[in-house]
């Protein structure tokens, strides 16, 4: 029997105008109003008019959480997934969709996460495309203060650490492209330890219920529905690597034949295609694609 996974993109997928076509829908209106009460600012105003703010971690992460969760809730009225996973921030939407915490609790977590990450200055991240993996792992192993932050696909990774260490790896490893990322800190690295410790206190106070469907976490791609395990994995996420390549391979291993990326862009479906070429891939990025669901996607 065919199984379907829903996946949720993280920071970097945001685009100006995302979510704007949802504002006439009652569920979206309710969510946007709730979000403004929690955040103290309007998600729809930022998404519609303020590209500069939308590119700042403080605003990016809550905006993505709100828009992606609305799309997911609307899609749930038509169909349900067998597995869920999310890339970095996207894991929070996956956990919400799986019923691990209620919507407002998830947004409050994302709000605090964004604040801590926005203030975690002093690090650097860089994407590397088409490289020798053995050489990269060897150089990282020999270079202090840099780690593999995002293992996205066989041909694309992100490294994270001090600026000196990241630049050293970029110089030593031959790659088709090596691109510094416009981020405020060394996310998904040990340099986030202080922020992660502060965030752990916030996470501890939130009840995690058993998931209604299996969740594949960034730091441990093995699917689980145990709420306590999912919380522990999320506690490790801020300093741990995003193992997306392994998540992609794990989906296939667990009988998933169809993956739907919910949210702006097509980053995750692109990564999965390069890792598992025979997977059926679809995107739900906006109200128009949501309205077409069932005509061509199933």
Lowest-confidence pick of 133-137, 153-157, 274-278: 274-278
What is the architecture, at CATH level 2, of domain 3-119+190-291? 3-Layer(aba) Sandwich (3.40)
If 0-12 CB within 10 Å is exposed, 13-18 middle and 19+ buried, where does residue 205 land?
A: exposed
Contacts of 88 (CB under 8 A, 6+ apart): 10, 11, 150, 187, 188, 218, 237, 242
User: Which of 126, 156, 174, 159 minimizes the C-alpha distance to 274?
Assistant: 156
Tell me the average pLDDT across 97-119.
96
Q: In what order do the strands lie in the sheet with 156-161?
A: 146-153, 156-161, 124-131, 175-180
Q: Residues with catalytic annotation?
A: 88, 188
The pTM (predicted TM-score) of the whole model is 0.95
Domain with CATH 3.30.70.250 in the chain: 124-180
- The string of pLDDT tens digits covering residues 179-215 is 998 887 899 999 999 999 999 989 999 999 999 999 9
**Using 50, 70 and 90 to split pLDDT, how confident is the model at 151?**
very high
- Residue pair 62/43 in contact (Cβ under 8 Å)? The answer is yes
* pLDDT, mean over the chain: 93
User: Which of 40, 50, 22 minimizes the C-alpha distance to 111?
Assistant: 40
CATH placement of domain 124-180: 3.30.70.250
- What is the model's pLDDT at position 295? 53
Domain with CATH 3.40.366.10 in the chain: 3-119+190-291
- The string of pLDDT tens digits covering residues 20-34 is 999 999 999 999 999
- What is the model's pLDDT at position 122? 81
Instruction: Please count the CA atoms within 13 angstroms of the CA of 81 that sit on its side-chain side.
Output: 32
């Amino acid at each position: 029997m065919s199984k379907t996974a829903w996946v949720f993109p993280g920071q970097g997928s945001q685009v100006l105008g995302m979510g704007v076509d949802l504002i006439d829908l009652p569920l979206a209106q309710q969510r946007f109003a709730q979000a403004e009460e929690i955040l103290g600012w309007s998600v729809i105003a930022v998404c519609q008019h303020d590209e500069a703010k939308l590119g700042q971690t403080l605003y990016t992460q809550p905006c993505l959480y709100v828009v992606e969760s609305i799309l997911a809730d609307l899609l749930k009225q038509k169909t349900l997934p067998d597995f869920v996973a999310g890339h970095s921030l996207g894991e929070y939407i996956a956990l919400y969709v799986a019923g691990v915490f209620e919507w407002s609790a998830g947004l409050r977590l994302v709000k605090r996460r964004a604040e801590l990450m926005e203030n975690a200055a002093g690090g650097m991240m860089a994407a590397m495309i088409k490289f020798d993996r053995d050489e990269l792992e060897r150089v990282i192993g020999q270079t202090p203060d840099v780690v593999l932050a995002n293992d996205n696909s066989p041909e694309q990774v992100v490294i994270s650490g001090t600026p000196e260490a990241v630049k050293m790896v970029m110089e030593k490893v031959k790659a088709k492209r090596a691109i510094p990322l416009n981020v405020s800190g060394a996310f998904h690295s040990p340099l986030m330890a202080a922020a992660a410790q502060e965030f752990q206190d916030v996470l501890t106070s939130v009840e995690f219920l058993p998931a209604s469907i299996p969740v594949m976490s960034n730091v441990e791609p093995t699917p689980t529905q145990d709420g306590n395990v999912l919380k522990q994995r999320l506690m490790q996420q801020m300093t741990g690597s995003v193992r997306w390549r392994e998540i992609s391979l794990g989906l296939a291993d667990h009988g998933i034949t169809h993956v739907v990326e919910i949210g702006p862009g097509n980053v995750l479906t692109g990564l999965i295609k390069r890792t598992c070429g025979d997977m059926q891939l679809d995107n739900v990025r906006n109200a128009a694609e949501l309205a077409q669901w069932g005509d061509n996607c199933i």
